[in-house]
Structure 1
Amino acid sequence: MISWSFIPWILQIPPLMCAFEISECYFSIKDFRRDGNVMIGAFFPLHYYYIVKKIPHKFLPNHYENLYLQYKFKNYQFVLALVFAIEEINRNPQLLPNTSLGFDLYNIPFSEKNTLMNAFIWLTGMSDVKANYNCKKERKSAAALTGTSFAISAHMGTLLQLYKIPQLTFGPFDTILDDRTQFTSLYQMAPKDTSLPLGIVSLMLHFKWTWVGLLLRDDHRGSQILSHLKDEMKKNGVCMAFVEMISGTLASFSDSFWKSVGRIQDSSANVIIIYGDTDSLQGLMKNIGQKLTTGKVWVMNSLWDVTNHLDYFMLDSFHGSLIFSHHYEEMVDFTHFIQKVHPSKYPEDTYLPKLWHLFFKCPFSRTDCKLLENCQPNASLDLLPKQNFDTAMSEESYYIYNAVYAVAHSLHEMIFKKVQIQQYENGEGITFLPWQLHPFLQNIHMNNHVGSHMLTHMKSKLDSKYDIINFWNFPKGIGLKVKVGSFSPNAPHGQQLSLTTNLIQWPTRFTEIPKSVCYKLCRPGFRRTIQKGKAACCFDCISCPYNEISNETDMDHCLKCPESHYANTEKNHCLQKTVTFLHYEDPLGMALSSIALCFSAITASVLGVFVKHRDTPIVKANNRALSYILLITLIICFLSSLLFIGQPNTATCILQQTTFGIVFTVALSTVLAKALTVVIAFKVTFPGRLMRWLMISRATNYIIPIFSLLQIILCGIWLGTSPPFVDQDAHAQHGHIIILCNKGSAIAFHCVLGYLCSLALGSYTMAFLSRNLPDKFNEAKYLTFSMLVFFSVWVTFLPVYHSTKGKVMVAMEVFAILASSAALLGFIFAPKCYIILLKPKKNVFHGIRDNTYYGRNNLN
């Protein structure tokens, strides 16, 4: 039965004396070897030693006790990729016939000193290295594979180029390593990250992350990516919450390192971009993992080991991370190969027994690194948890695979063309000098097993496509890397980023897509505005203006409601406005219509009284015909106000203004005629041919038709040029659309009104001039007061009318019509009705004979 219990990755090694006795297992210089006609030197970081507390050894100088060994089991896939590629090439009869490839595997220790030491051992074949000495019987070394960091490749490159030995690096692309004047023998297998900043910023824009932190290695690669990210972020409106350039390593942490960790944890940015390789910033990654910083979304490049920290139950700081990985073809054969890997298949491999011992509890000999017995024959690497070992080929393993094929194809081309090749000696294999491979490595086009076409010469490489990987590790131990999208820099604009958002698992703190912005989320009803003195991505939230809404979170602009709608109180939704007008059921409309009908009835009653008492002196003295005309006109005036009440239409809009203008013109013309009649009646006894002619010719009878005709012509011009029409007022009353009559031509309306005021002013003038005439019934005084009230009503009406809106404006016009009409009725006819009905004794001829002239009655 396979044990699924987690085994600590840290193994304590006995003191150095015991370790020396088992040095063949734990401290072997050459970790794994496969013989071949041509050998490749492989330098992989598989384990390292460190000292927790320096306790000097009792016997050996410069040595310490309490030495600890830590394995990087994920990197063991590099070894398997190397073995897989070499076995595949050796089985291929079309590639390197009669020639086999082999390899020498060396571990890359933690210190740079030991890195160069292993390189010297590989070059010279001597464990006790002496410069410029070579103990190898023959030169069969073709090239060296190095990685994973810039520092390892650069240090080894400085040494290897002295011997012109081809060096192929499988770590991330580096511009310094690409300098052919500085590294003449170095070839990088990884493509450039030219389009990575654009891809990361495109991801930020997709999720609307505008406030992000940057965590970079404090070296030239960190400075380069920072410059490119700044440019892309500035162009696309993404702001940096902080930039931390970390220089601390796994073994030593400075004060600035701990300050950086604190700033990361305290930052309001929920999204942090990390750029580095497997070795750089590894100490920071461990610290983040151990502190369970689960509230951040980490966006990183692919060359990271996000599981290289201590285990905590269920939780993982890097669960939900998004990783940009260079796209490469899936290699199913490699996965099948790993499933068949077993210590018994590769007895020379010293790492496999350790894996079986740690994960499957197999008995293990510390003397020769061999399993003591065949335990659990069904044990396989694909049974290990994903966070410990992944059977799917990683990006770095893919570059190792391609590097081996690059060497193989170069050798094949060199043999085929017989360029500077020595003859086989004693059938033992080909002899050549490593530098002879350079022309072929620089120019060869390589087709590997999966069909990828690549050019080894990095200058000809194009920007590659990126896969976007989501890291699933909740509960901790799953260790899945799920492809959720891709970024293609050469795709049309707008189609470069492709994401399947519903596949993404976010950190456990978030239940939906995380937000990373420099402000509190602006809820619906508010919009964002830039904060003064802060970054362009930092906003305040302000309420939407009048009749504008925002129905989504974090809107930059509010949306104006249509004319037929209005914003609700929360300003997050537009509501349909209610259509209204001054209708009869409205309290104001009901009151005005009742008043109009009552005054019409009163006027009709007065007319009836005058008709009934038409032969009495008071009716005769006030010109019966003019009184009848004025009373009938007033009835129409009162009833015309009803045209303003109810739902307007085209007919009522036209009748409102024309009826109002013409009827009031008739009424005021009648009043003017009455006032002029009074003046003529009292002036006729004075000498003067004009007054006598006016009385005899009855010129006052032509006042009404002449002045009314002028108003009719004015109204006709109004209707012919810009007639009134039905209109809607959506702004006068909140939440309502008021249907009313638009005057059409405001000039024509004011001309009609001005004409009426002119008639009123003329009537007032005539009545005022005759106020002191000896009239028994004070006709001139009553006319004066009626015109004064009429004139006051309409002069007051104009400013009030223009200061009101909607139904109130219509009601003001109705009120002006009713008030002015009531003034004419009250001041002119109320005193007469009072005498006729209540003081009939005064309504006799002899009661007025002493104060008036008999001839005056002939005017009736």
Structure 2
Amino acid sequence: MWFTLNICLYLSFSFILAASILRSDMCQLQGHFRLNGMYKNGDFIFGGLFDVNFLTVFPELSFRTEPEPPYCEQFDMESFQQAQTMAFAIDEINKNPNMLPNITLGYHVYDNCMMLGMAFRAAISLASGTEEFFSNQNCTGPTPVIGIVGDSSSTASIAISSILGLFRVPIVSHYATCSCLSDRKKYPSFFRTIPSDAFQVRAMVQILKYFGWTWVGLIYSDDDYGIYAAQSFHQEMQLFGGCVAFSEILPHDNNYRDIQHITAVIQASTARVVVVFSTPSFLIPLLDAVVLQNMTGRQWIASEAWATSLVNHAPRLFSFLRGTLGIAIRRGEIQGLHEFLLRLYSSNDPKNNMLRIFWEKMFGCSFETGSKETDGEQVKKVCTGQEDLSTTDTPYTDVSELRASYNVYKAVYALAHALHDLMQCEEGRGPFHGNSCADITNLKPWQLVHYLQKVNFTTGFGDHVSFDENGDALPIYDVMNWQPGSDGSIRVQAVGVVNEEAATGMVLTLDDDALYWNFESKQIPRSVCSESCPPGTRRASRKGLPICCFDCLPCRDGLISNTTDANECTVCPDEFWSNPDRDQCVPKEVEFLSYEDPLGISLTTASLLGTCFCALVMVIFTHHRNTPIVRANNSELSFLLLLSLKLCFLCVLLFIGQPQRWTCQLRHAVFGISFVLCISSILVKTMVVIAVFKSSRPEGKSALKWFGAAQQRCTVLVLTAIQVVICAVWLSTASPTPHKNNQYIRSKIVYECAIGSVAGFSMLLGYIGLLAAVSFMLAFLARNLPDNFNEAKFITFSMLIFCAVWIAFVPAYVSSPGKYAVAVEIFAILASSFGLLVAIFAPKCYIILLHPERNTKKAIMGRDTQKK
């Protein structure tokens, strides 16, 4: 029953209330906010939101009465100057006959107290108006403001734009830099005359890149400005190739333990550069902790939010913050602003209570209710006993560093130019539906947004103002350096400029000589996790650490790196190799057995000696050709054998020197034919020895007739002709050719003769081996024949040497690289040739030259008779 009764009472009350509203033809304001502001009437009103006070006080709550609205304290002169700059710009526009003729601009400026709640209340008041009643049943009509300048905070701008953007109210911020506000889908009517954090971060990274600081710490405030800036910074550092050594958040509640943790991280880190994205209010507790812990040896990089802030210029911080580098928004000059600021009036009008607060808070003045407006100079004189404001040096009257105020000036003019362009519209050529123009008597904010997007003008200071598709202004920054003043204080000095150019991108210009470094060495500090890897090395990441922490490993043979901090070594082309420093590819050394090489000289000498020995033996045999020992050993075959050995020694010369096509073809052919001629002669000599022995027996008298001089010559010729045929077929089908071989030694090009056909080369060697094996077997069987000077014994010994050398040659040749393979082959030729020469002819020369008494038929036959 009680529930039903309550519902009935509620519905009855609601019906009565609705009926009373419907009967009324007035729209009533549902609530009021306590806001500090300035007001000037006009045909069109521009709104403004500024941080005139930076502390919000909330009265004590009581559940017995309606809560009192919060109020603001701690007046900020710089922000008040910004608000006055807006008033000056509107006043200047009203006086300009060429802009908005017959139109008077007004303004309504509110203090947001540097708090989101207060900023939101002020924005709602600007959008809805503050009139108690609105005489229109549908609550339609001209909007209270057609555009808003502000807010300076990114967080407040996000919240305000999210709501007012639904109604397309143009908002032009002079200080909100969060890159998130560039999202046109979320914030369709937001513009700004300050570059976004995306550009700010890129500008700061340009400074890091300029000085080679790849290992930096990051500290950012726990608000939208700091969080979004930190995200952009991480992305830009990855593109730059740098690393963030640590990333810490400054708490919004200034928690002591969090601050202590951050300072401990800074001290423990090897990073000497610390980048800070924060507003001064967040930063002060951290700087106080830095002073308490006497933390020196750090290079601070300031974001634009505090790069020029005097809040941090307390004497206790001088020794720690000197040398700080930062970027600041573009400094400008505004003609006539200083005089305007000095002509400050006060009023008791509630809408203009910001002026009254200025005099009360800053100069202790008090005003009685209902007093008339008084000249600021007179008020100043009454309150402080001084003549005018110009004698007081305050941030309010200081126009030497107009940065935020200059952006306010540009924002007001951007709205004014958009309104001026809107009024120049010709009916039938307008941008709206049906080529219509905006109705000046009922101007909608969204119509101004269209023209604001196309604004393009130049300020009196010479700066170009326009907006891109995201509502962002042309990015340009001053690079600031905190330097010690003559009085021991800190002065912020401009030392360079960073601006965005369409052709070249972000460009940094610095005056290196004007920089001050707060280090004992007075030199640029180093802040890298690992020193750069020089050319000739590559970077190898350390496991578990960022990419900026690495080791430098030398490039392997054949690979180079000719840049600093190369991630990979590059492979040299086939005919090039890395130099000893591994930073350049040089032509590979061409290796072959040359006549200038010590090994080539030695082998050439051995070849010529062997040839000379053969010639000497031939001379000896020719001179003693009629002696029994020469005649008994078949002198014709002996001379043929000496000739073939001489060819064997001389063919070595074809293996030495740079391979040519003709030398590659001749070397193996001459080698094969010479040795077959040599082995054929030995084979025939062996067969003759056996035939002679058998002919001495009754049953073998007919054996010798088969081994006459003609048969001997024919046998040698036939055996040699077979090798000639093998060589001819080989050379005609797959001829050996010069070849640059990179496989044996990768660092060198081995110039060698490719055999062309393995089968041809194998047949050549195999045929030689076959004849040598047959000769060895026959000589071995005849080694014990009874004779005073048994030729078969010497042939056996010579063929044993020959076979041993060539059997050992095969594995040695296969395992020898480059020119040493050729040297092994030459050594085998020389060794086997010398073996044959010494084993067969040395004993004979020994008897001929040293024991001529034994070189007689009687001596030879005598031993034979004695044995029998």
For the criterion TM > 0.5, the same-fold answer is yes
Deviation at 1:317, TM superposition (A): 5.8
The one of 439, 446, 453 equivalent to 1:417 is 439
How far 1:544 moved relative to its partner? 1.1
1:763 — aligned with what? Answer: 775
Is the deviation greater in 637-646 or in 576-585? 576-585
Counterpart for residue 505 of structure 2: 497
Distance 1:680 1:576 in 2: 63
Q: Do residues 658 (structure 1) and 665 (structure 2) align?
A: no
**2-side partners of 1:153 and 1:594: how far apart?**
95
Query: Match for residue 82 of structure 1?
Result: 86
- State the match for 1:600 in structure 2: 611
5+ unaligned residues in a row in structure 2: which ranges?
1-33, 58-67, 135-141, 348-354, 365-376, 426-435, 485-489
Mapping of residues 201-350 of structure 1, within 5 Å: 213-219=217-223, 240-248=244-252, 252-264=254-266, 266-269=268-271, 275=277, 284=286, 295-296=298-299, 298=301, 300=303, 305=308, 308-310=311-313, 316=321, 319-321=324-326, 335-338=334-337, 341=340, 343-344=342-343
- Cα distance between partner residues in 2 of 1:255 and 1:730: 67
The code of the aligned residue for 1:497 comes to G
In structure 2, what is the Cα distance between the partners aligned to 1:588 and 1:416? 100
Instruction: Look up the equivalent residue of 1:466 and give its one-letter code.
Output: P
Q: CA separation of 1:314/1:401 partners in 2, compared to 1, >3 Å: closer, same or farther?
A: farther
- The verdict on how the C-alpha distance between 1:342 and 1:536 changes in structure 2, with shifts beyond 3 A counting, is closer
What do residues 714-768 of structure 1 show as CA deviations (whole Å, max 9, x unaligned)?
A: 2223333443444556786797666554544454334322322222112111111
1:89/1:107 CA distance change after superposition, 3 Å: same
In structure 2, the CA distance between the partners of 1:279 and 1:394, relative to structure 1 (3 Å rule), is farther
What is the one-letter code of the residue matched to 1:805?
P
TM-superposed CA distance for 1:621, in Å, is: 1.5
Worse overlay, 585-594 or 620-629: 585-594
Within 2, Cα distance between the matches of 1:292 and 1:407?
Answer: 53
Distance 1:703 1:694 in 2: 11
Aligned to 1:101: 105
Q: Tell me the residue number matched to 1:467.
A: 476
Q: Distance in 1 between matches of 2:470 and 2:595?
A: 84
The answer as to 2:849 corresponding to 1:837 is yes
Q: 1:385 to 1:115 in 2, by over 3 A?
A: closer
Between the aligned partners of 1:721 and 1:352, the Cα distance in structure 2 is 112
The answer (yes or no) to whether the contact 2:588–2:747 under 8 Å persists in 1 is yes
Deviation at 1:560, TM superposition (A): 3.6
Could you give the per-residue CA deviations for residues 159-184 of structure 1, whole angstroms, max 9, x where no partner exists? 99999999765442679999999999
Structure-1 separation of matches of 2:221 and 2:437: 43
Letter in 2 for 1:675: T
Which residue is 1:486 aligned to?
500
- Quickly say closer, same or farther: Cα 1:119–1:837, change in 2 above 3 A: closer
| Cα 1:40–1:728 shift into 2, 3 Å | closer
| Aligned equivalent of 1:796, options 798, 808, 814 | 808
1:779 has 2:791 as partner: yes
Q: Matches of 1:559 and 1:503 in 2, distance apart?
A: 38
Letter in 1 for 2:342: P
CA contact (8 A) 1:338 1:391 kept: no
Contact 2:170 2:446 in 1 (8 A): no
Give the Cα separation in 2 of the matches to 1:79 and 1:245. Answer: 31
Task: Measure the CA separation in 2 of the matches of 1:71 and 1:407.
Answer: 31
Shift of 1:629: 0.7
* Aligned residue in 2 for 1:522: 533
Q: Per the alignment, do residues 269 and 829 of structure 1 end up closer, same or farther by CA in structure 2, a change over 3 Å counting?
A: same
Partner of residue 628, structure 1: 639
Mapped contact 1:339–1:382 kept (Cα < 8 A): no
Q: Secondary structure at the match of 1:522?
A: coil
3-state DSSP of counterpart to 1:256:
helix
Structure 2 counterpart of 1:81, one-letter code: T
Alpha-carbon offset, residue 821 of structure 1: 0.9
Which residue in the other structure is 2:9 paired with? Answer: none
Question: Quick check: 1:381–1:391 contact (8 Å CA) kept in 2?
Answer: no
| Counterpart pick for 2:176 among 150, 165, 172 | 172
Q: 1:149 aligns with which of 153, 158, 181?
A: 153
Aligned residue runs from structure 1 range 397-796, under 5 A: 397-403=409-415, 417=439, 419=441, 438=445, 440-441=447-448, 445=452, 447=455, 450=458, 461=470, 465-467=474-476, 469-474=478-483, 477-480=491-494, 482-486=496-500, 497-500=505-508, 508=517, 518-535=529-546, 538-561=549-572, 566-574=577-585, 581-684=592-695, 685=697, 687=699, 691=703, 694-695=706-707, 698-728=710-740, 739-796=751-808
The alignment covers a number of residue pairs equal to 763
User: 1:305, 1:658 → 2: CA distance?
Assistant: 91
Taking structure 1 as the reference length, what is the TM-score of the superposition?
A: 0.71
Preserved contact between residue 201 and residue 229 of structure 2 (Cα < 8 Å) = no
Identify if the C-alpha distance between structure 1 residues 691 and 485 changes in structure 2 by more than 3 Å, giving closer, same or farther: farther
Q: State the distance in 2 between where 1:537 and 1:39 align.
A: 54
- Shift of the 211–714 alpha-carbon distance from structure 1 to 2, 3 Å rule, reads farther
Whether the 8 Å contact between 2:380 and 2:389 is mirrored in structure 1 is no
Contact 2:127–2:143 (CA under 8 A) maintained in structure 1: no
Q: 1:115-139: CA deviations, max 9, x gaps? A: 789899999999xxxx9799xxxx9
Over the aligned positions, Cα root-mean-square deviation in angstroms equals 5.6
Contact kept? 1:289, 1:318, Cα under 8 Å: no
| Contact 2:496 2:509 survives alignment (8 Å) | no
For residue 146 of structure 1, report the CA deviation from its aligned partner. 4.4
* Residue pair 1:292, 1:316 contacting (<8 A) in 2 also: no
1:657–1:163 Cα change, 3 Å: closer
Match for residue 429 of structure 1? Answer: none
Contact 2:588–2:748 under 8 Å retained in 1: yes
Counterpart amino acid of residue 78 in structure 1: Q
Please tell me whether the aligned partners of residues 774 and 851 of structure 1 are also in contact (alpha carbons under 8 angstroms).
no
Amino acid aligned to 2:692: A
Cα distance change on mapping 1:654 and 1:176 into 2, 3 Å: closer
**Which of 846, 851, 861 is the aligned partner of 1:849?**
861
Higher mean C-alpha displacement, 661-670 vs 408-417: 408-417
- Tell me, yes or no, if the aligned pair for 2:216 and 2:275 is still in contact at 8 Å: yes
Q: 1-side partners of 2:399 and 2:156: how far apart? A: 29
Cα distance in 2 for partners of 1:179, 1:680 equals: 112
Are the aligned partners of 2:51 and 2:76 in contact in 1 as well (CA < 8 Å)? no
1:210, 1:517 within 8 Å by CA — same for their partners in 2?
yes
* TM-aligned CA distance change 1:813 to 1:531, over 3 Å: same
Q: Is the 8 A contact 1:42 1:103 kept in 2?
A: yes
- Pair 655,846 (structure 1): closer, same or farther in 2 beyond 3 Å: same
State the one-letter code of the partner of 1:244: E
Amino acid of the residue matched to residue 717 of structure 2? Answer: P
**Counterparts of 1:474 and 1:818, CA distance in 2:** 85
CA distance in 2, matches of 1:190, 1:679: 117
Whole-Å Cα distance in 2 between the matches of residues 513 and 721 of structure 1? 73
How does 1:370-409 map onto structure 2 within 5 Å?
372-373=386-387, 389-390=401-402, 394-395=406-407, 397-403=409-415
- Residues 595 and 371 (structure 1), Cα distance of their counterparts in 2 relative to 1, 3 Å cut: farther
Residues 724-733 or 196-205, more deviating: 196-205
Structure 2 SS opposite 1:527: strand
User: Cα gap change, 1:559/1:155 in structure 2, threshold over 3 Å: closer, same or farther?
Assistant: closer
CA distance in structure 2 between the aligned counterparts of 1:380 and 1:791, rounded to whole angstroms:
110
Moved more, 775-784 or 799-808: 799-808
